[in-house]
Amino acid sequence: MTISTDARPRRTFAVISHPDAGKSTLTEALALHARTISEAGAVHGKAGRRGTVSDWMEMERERGISITSAALQFEYDGHVINLVDTPGHADFSEDTYRVLSAVDSAVMLVDAAKGLEPQTLKLFRVCAQRGIPVITVINKWDRPGLDPLQLMDEIQKEIGLRPTPLTWPVGSAGEFRGVLDRRTGDLIHYTRTAGGATRAPEERIAASRASEVDGQAWATAVEEHDLLTMDGADHDQGTFLAGTTTPVLFASALLNFGVSQLLRMLIELAPPPGPTPAVDGDAREVDDEFSAFVFKVQSGMDAAHRDRLAYARVCSGVFERGMVVQHGETGKPFATKYAQAVFGRDRSSVEQAFPGDIVGLVNANALRVGDTIYAGPAVRYPPIASFAPEHFVSARAADTGRYKQFRRGIEQMDQEGVVQVLRSDLRGDQSPVLAAVGPMQFEVVTARMQSEFGAAIKLDHLDYSVARRTDNAGVEALKGVRGVEVLSRADGTHLALFPDTWRAHTVARDHPKVMLEPLPASGG
C-alpha cells in the first residue's frame, strides 16, 4: 500500500469568516455529524460557548476570542477530515494567513443577514492568492436574511467568483424547511430537534412529491433553481479547483441543517493533499519520504503544559512518532518523541500522521514558522509570506530590573512571529519597535510578556502606518531624512517606516535611487 492510499481520503481545510458568522457553531456541528462528540455544546459548552476549546488565555476568555490555532481531526464516511482552526477575533493577525498555508481548501462561511463582511473578504483574498479552492456556506438561514439570489449577486460582485449553488433553500431566510439538491432535483427536508443539540433528521423526497410537502416554498425554489440553470450557474469541478467558481450550500449551523451536505461536498469536491512545491522548483509527491513545514509556533498554551509547540503540516510520506528528522534550516537532526495531536487543551499523542495531517511538536525550540523538516533527500519549502505591518509601537520593560526577562520575551515573540521586532542603533536594544498587521497583537504581547516572562512592558504608539523594504544603501541614504525611520529585523530585512503613503511617495520621489519596495499587502 502506498502513502497516497492514506493521503487520498484526507481533506484539510479551514473555515474563513467574519466573527459571529457561526464558525464555532459550525465546527461543533461538523464534529457532531462525525459523531466525534455526542451532543452539540460538548466542545464549546453551550452555557460557556465563549470559552471554546481553543481559547487559552485569560484575555481570550474575557473577550470571547480565540487566538490559538490547532486542528480538529475526525473521520467521516471513510475519510479523515482535518479542520484547521483559524483565529477568530475581529482583529487581523498574521496567524490566520499562516494557517491558510496549511490547508488544501477553505469553507467561506457567510451570515445570511449580513452578506460578505470585511474579515471574510480579507481572508478570501489570501485564499485567492494562494489558489485555494473555496466552498461557500450561507449560514443562519433559519433567521431572517437577504434574498438568496441577491446573495449570489453579491458574491459574484465582491469577490469575482461565480457562485454555483449545489443546494438551494426551500423557504426564505427565517423559514428554513429544507434544500433543493440541484444535482438530483430532490427535496431534502429537515426536521428541527430541541435546540439543535442533536443531528437534525433529514428526509430525501423526490421532486414529484416535494410540492405536497412544501407547497409554495418548493415552487419558488424550483423557479429560482431553473433561473440559475439557465444562467449556467452549475458546479464545474475544473473551475472550482482553478478558483474561478465557488460551490454554494445553504445551512443553519445552529439547527444542524445542511451540515451533512457540507461534509459530503468536502469529501466529493474538496481536493486531497497533492504535491508540495519546494524552493528549488521541484515538488515532493505525497508518496515521497516524510516532509512537513511549520506554519505556527506557540508557547505557554496553558499553565499545565508550559512548553513550546510547533505545528507542522505533513506534506509527504508518513510521520511516525519518535522518528528523527532533519531540520532544513539548521541541518540538525530533530527528534519527534513528543508529537501530539492538539485541539485546544485536549492533547493526545500522535503515533502516525499522513500528508494533510497537522502534528504539534513539543519542545521544538529550534523550529520557526516556515521551517521545513524532512527525512531522506533534503527539501526546503518556500517561506511563508509575512505581510506589511501597519501598526507600530516602541516597547520597553516597565521595570528596568527585569530587562533580561524582557529581552528573552521579546525574542520569543519575534521567533513565534506574534509581532515583527525591529531594531536600530538609535533606539538601542532597550526599546525595540514592534510591528503588526493588527493592533490586537500588541495586547497579546503585553499579556504574554507579563504572564510568561514576568516582564511587564510599556508600549508607546508610533505615528507610522506604512513600511517599505530597503537595502543597505537605503539605510545610509535615508539617514537624517525627515518623515522616515529605518529599522531592521533579525532576519536582516531593513524596513523604512513612514507616517502615511503620501510621505512614502514624497521620499521615494526625492530619492529616486533608493530602493523602497512595498511588502505584500494584507489585503485591505
Stretch near ligand G4P under the rule CB under 6 A, chosen from 252-260, 351-359, 361-369, 471-479:
252-260
**Across the strands, what pairs with 313?**
293, 358
Joined grid coordinates for residue 523: 489585503
Minimal distance, residue 258 CB to ligand G4P, in Å: 9
Minimal distance, residue 179 CB to ligand G4P, in Å: 14
Helices (H) and strands (E) in the chain, counts: 13, 31
The nearer residue to ligand G4P, 64 or 275, going by C-beta atoms, is: 64
Name the E strands within 235-288: 245-250, 276-277, 283-284
**Which residue matches cell numbers 520557526?**
368
3-class SS of residue 209? helix
Minimal distance, residue 260 CB to ligand G4P, in Å: 15
* H/E run at residue 138: strand 134-139
Q: Which of residues 56-95 bind ligand G4P (CB under 6 A)?
A: 88
**Across the strands, what pairs with 170?**
178
Minimal distance, residue 404 CB to ligand G4P, in Å: 39
Q: Does 21 bind ligand G4P (CB under 6 A)?
A: yes
Q: Using CA of residue 473, residue 475, residue 479, residue 484, what is the dihedral sign?
A: positive
Written as one string, the DSSP assignment of 502-518 is HHHHHHHHH-TTS--EE
The nearer residue to ligand G4P, 47 or 303, going by C-beta atoms, is: 47
Instruction: Determine the size of the site formed for ligand G4P (CB under 6 A).
Output: 17
Minimal distance, residue 86 CB to ligand G4P, in Å: 10
The nearer residue to ligand G4P, 253 or 384, going by C-beta atoms, is: 253
Residue nearest to ligand G4P (CB): 22
Minimal distance, residue 41 CB to ligand G4P, in Å: 9
The nearer residue to ligand G4P, 22 or 178, going by C-beta atoms, is: 22
The nearer residue to ligand G4P, 194 or 304, going by C-beta atoms, is: 194
User: Residue 419 in contact with residue 435, Cβ under 8 Å?
Assistant: yes
Q: Does 154 bind ligand G4P (CB under 6 A)?
A: no
The nearer residue to ligand G4P, 49 or 235, going by C-beta atoms, is: 49
Stretch near ligand G4P under the rule CB under 6 A, chosen from 2-10, 246-254, 368-376, 474-482:
246-254
User: Residue 312 in contact with residue 321, Cβ under 8 Å?
Assistant: no
Minimal distance, residue 107 CB to ligand G4P, in Å: 12
Minimal distance, residue 448 CB to ligand G4P, in Å: 23
Q: Using CA of residue 342, residue 452, residue 86, residue 344, what is the dihedral sign?
A: positive
Q: Does 20 bind ligand G4P (CB under 6 A)?
A: yes
CA distance 485 to 497: 5
Name the nearest CA neighbour of 136 among 155, 109, 159: 109
Maximum distance among all alpha carbons in the chain?
80
3-class SS of residue 453? helix
The nearer residue to ligand G4P, 190 or 334, going by C-beta atoms, is: 190
**Contact track, ligand G4P, 458-477, x by CB under 6 A:** --------------------
**Contact track, ligand G4P, 119-148, x by CB under 6 A:** --------------------xx-xx-----
Minimal distance, residue 157 CB to ligand G4P, in Å: 23
CA distance 351 to 336: 10
CA distance 171 to 514: 61
CA distance 232 to 403: 65
Interface residue with ligand G4P among 19, 275, 383, 439 (CB under 6 A) is 19
The nearer residue to ligand G4P, 255 or 507, going by C-beta atoms, is: 255
The nearer residue to ligand G4P, 112 or 312, going by C-beta atoms, is: 112
The nearer residue to ligand G4P, 123 or 325, going by C-beta atoms, is: 123
CA distance 408 to 500: 32
Q: How far is CA 445 from the centre of its chain?
A: 20
The nearer residue to ligand G4P, 272 or 438, going by C-beta atoms, is: 438
Q: Which of residues 23-62 bind ligand G4P (CB under 6 A)?
A: 23-25, 49
Whole-Å CA distances, 428 to 74, 266, 487:
49, 52, 11
Minimal distance, residue 114 CB to ligand G4P, in Å: 11
Q: What per-residue string of b and e applies to 258-296 under the rule 16 or more CB within 10 Å gives b?
A: bbbbbbebbbebbbbbeebebeeeeebbbebebbbbbbb
Name the nearest CA neighbour of 180 among 224, 145, 144, 246: 224
Interface residue with ligand G4P among 6, 10, 14, 17 (CB under 6 A) is 17
Interacting residues toward ligand G4P by CB under 6 A: 17, 19-25, 49, 88, 139-140, 142-143, 252-254
